[in-house]
Structure 1
């Protein structure tokens, strides 16, 4: 009986730890989702303004 109680206590602790991990991951996912949404909005604004050109490393600047 004591062995079962120890197993239940161990499993309860493990479930609590996993719950904390999932909560932290959800917070991180929410933060990253918000950042991606901001980037999409910024890129959409650039596309509308016509200032979203791609610059390549080997491309000469226009003043040359």
Structure 2
């Protein structure tokens, strides 16, 4: 192989390494964001369940007994 071909391959490899590092950083950032979103969803789900339970308990206390 010629010297020019080696230089061309080294340049391509350097660009690919930079691209891989950049993509790796994007994936890491997205993973952090996914973790935060999952935690938010869990908190919202727990809050919805809590509100639904409170609503059912309040509804049961407000109902008239069947003999009225």
TM-score, normalised to structure 1, is 0.77
Q: How many residues align?
A: 51
Superposition CA RMSD, Å: 1.0
Structure 1: unaligned runs, 5 residues or longer: 52-64
Runs of 4+ in structure 1 deviating by more than 6 angstroms, as ranges, are none
TM-score, normalised to structure 2, is 0.73
Larger RCO (CA within 8 A; separation ≥ 6): 1
Q: Higher Cα Rg: structure 1 or 2?
A: 2
Hey, which of these two has a bigger chunk of helix by percent? 2
